[in-house]
Structure 1
Amino acid sequence: MLSRFCSLLGVVALAVGTSGCGIMNRMAADSVQSMLGSLLEQPDPQLVHDGAPACLLVIDSLIRRDPRNPSLLRDGCTAYTTYATAFLSGEADAVRAARLQGRAKEYGQRLLRLRGFYTRAESAPMPEYEAALARFGGRDVPDLYAVGSAWLGWIVSCPESMEAMAELPRALAVMERALALDERYADGGAHLVFGTYFSLQPVGAGQDLPRSRRHFERAMELGGAEDLMPRVLFAEFYARAANDPELFAGTLQGVLDSKVSDTPRLRLMNAVARDRAARLLQQKDEIF
């Protein structure tokens, strides 16, 4: 399945490069979206882990040929973020994760720079930057969410970088705008971001566990019983920060015991969630 999609995208990339035709550009964007949808429907994380990098390279090629295509930039941003988040969470993968999250961030920022008002305010003081973000509306939520996720993912993957930390207020402002416009987008994904963020901050320097828990609980409510990843992240970040081993173990065991029938769009991430839950449970004694 993955190889067929990558082959199709390769053909489309050649067509875009030789024709320059607008309809071919739309075919490329549509093919990328179809491929990403297929990846999310795969129940085998290892298959996606092994096959997705080739597809990422094809997306790079398509963007190189059509560098101002908003759909391709958004999908490239999302694809790199999803791959790095799902498969490069271990310490051994830290350098590679930072590199791929950096590519996601690059595509995301190029996407927002397609709006002249954003480009003019990108390096302005925060009040001007936030005023520019206020000009984004409901139809821009997919772009804001993709960019915020990628940008924050890059920052988290570069914990020793002062440059990355300096960009945190702007990245948070992007995600805050997405949340304000539509908290339900991506099944409450922005709530997951902020739940994680407020649990990861140092005690006395930004950590807010009650606020973290409210965001996680809202994300679990919006995602519904079939979406397992919010529960895993709640245990991994909130329960750990709250030093609550019983909540940690009970939540993760609930994920492993869940008998939900995965809807197609959740197959991959639910499989990843179960794998992550099992791994975290094995590490419980080390964590606490």
Structure 2
Amino acid sequence: MILKWSIRIIISSTLLFSCSMQSIVISQMEPILDNSALALFEESDYEFAKNALPGNLKLIEGLLKSDPENEKLLLLASQGYAGYALGYLEDEHPDKAKLFYLRARDYALKILRKDEAFSNAEKSGVENLKQTLSTYNRDKAPALFWAGFSWAGYITLSLTEPAAIIELAEVEILMQRVEELQPEYFYGGVYLFFGSVYGMKPGIMGGNPEKAKSYFEKSINLTESKFLLAYIYAAKYYAAKILDEDLFDEYLQKVEESSVDVLPGAQLMNAIAKEKAAYLKSKKEELF
């Protein structure tokens, strides 16, 4: 009996040591992964980044197999899958984009659901969720943003599904807290979210084109007109919605004439904006 317990203790200790060592090794890799993500966002070649992203994402997921609660890895995975869906899938392959947006959402929600209060609040109504989020500090803004951004991406591609549209209420609560905590995060991405919501909704459901415009202008002003995706969202969810062709063309022309290098660190996002500008131009007759 003593021998059996001794063997069990040894095995358990070995497994614990192995898991601990894996976590230590991964934590030492985190600065490398951060720099890799930065280098990717600094990439100005749209196609090169497209080929690089999947390998990076599978590396992160492989590391998550060894350290599934690692918040840095979860956030990088969420950001990566959301970026890939936005930049390379949603226009031409919406069904696949929806799956990637959900994967991105779930990685970010896994961070938030580590807080039992958040998990309980999700199940008990929007007012309880608001109350829980009111206790959160600025360090929660990235996970809230990527959960909301990814979820919104999925909903935007699922407007014929009532169940998906109902979920927008929870997404708005997440993003409202981001706006309160850190509105400048990811180049004012929360402003693009609310601009899109007010532009996309019909008036009877709270849509308001002028509010949409004001939010897009907040993002544009924040980055001194250098984050070109703001013009893409403004063209699609404001100019097209009010049927202003001249303004639509003006927004897209701004993207076309700007260099992707105008905002260091966001070259890839600006390259994506240029691709989207070309796509929107090709769909202009459908939009108007």
TM-score normalized by the length of structure 1: 0.88
Q: 1:77 to 1:281 in 2, by over 3 A?
A: same
267-276 vs 215-224, greater mean Cα deviation: 267-276
**1:7 equivalent in structure 2:** none
Aligned counterparts, 1:139-150, within 5 A: 139-150=139-150
Q: Quick one: distance in 2 between partners of 1:48 and 1:260? A: 14
**2:236 equivalent in structure 1:** 236
State the Cα deviation string for residues 187-221 of structure 1 (Å, max 9, x = none).
21100110011111124222111110110000100
CA positional deviation for 1:227 = 1.8
**2:267 equivalent in structure 1:** 267
Aligned counterparts, 1:152-191, within 5 A: 152-191=152-191
Q: Give RMSD over aligned pairs.
A: 2.0
141-150 vs 28-37, greater mean Cα deviation: 28-37
**1:100 equivalent in structure 2:** 100
Q: Quick one: distance in 2 between partners of 1:55 and 1:260? A: 22
**2:9 equivalent in structure 1:** none
Q: What one-letter code is carried by the residue in structure 2 that aligns with 1:283?
A: K
Q: Percent identity?
A: 27
Q: What one-letter code is carried by the residue in structure 2 that aligns with 1:107?
A: Y
**2:11 equivalent in structure 1:** none
Q: Quick one: distance in 1 between partners of 2:63 and 2:137? A: 28
Q: What one-letter code is carried by the residue in structure 2 that aligns with 1:87?
A: Y
Q: Quick one: distance in 2 between partners of 1:180 and 1:263? A: 25
Q: Quick one: distance in 2 between partners of 1:117 and 1:210? A: 36
Asked if 2 retains the 8 angstrom alpha-carbon contact of 1:235 and 1:252, the reply is yes
Gaps of 5+ in 1: 1-15
Q: What one-letter code is carried by the residue in structure 2 that aligns with 1:86?
A: G
Q: What one-letter code is carried by the residue in structure 1 that aligns with 2:82?
A: T
Q: Quick one: distance in 1 between partners of 2:105 and 2:18? A: 25
Aligned counterparts, 1:77-92, within 5 A: 77-90=78-91, 92=92
Q: What one-letter code is carried by the residue in structure 2 that aligns with 1:202?
A: P
Q: 1:61 to 1:173 in 2, by over 3 A?
A: same
Asked if 2 retains the 8 angstrom alpha-carbon contact of 1:239 and 1:247, the reply is yes
Q: Quick one: distance in 2 between partners of 1:80 and 1:237? A: 23
Q: Quick one: distance in 2 between partners of 1:17 and 1:205? A: 54
CA positional deviation for 1:115 = 1.4
Q: Indicate whether 1:53 and 2:54 are aligned.
A: yes
Q: What one-letter code is carried by the residue in structure 1 that aligns with 2:200?
A: L
**2:3 equivalent in structure 1:** none
Larger Rg: 2
Asked if 2 retains the 8 angstrom alpha-carbon contact of 1:17 and 1:65, the reply is no
Asked if 2 retains the 8 angstrom alpha-carbon contact of 1:184 and 1:222, the reply is yes
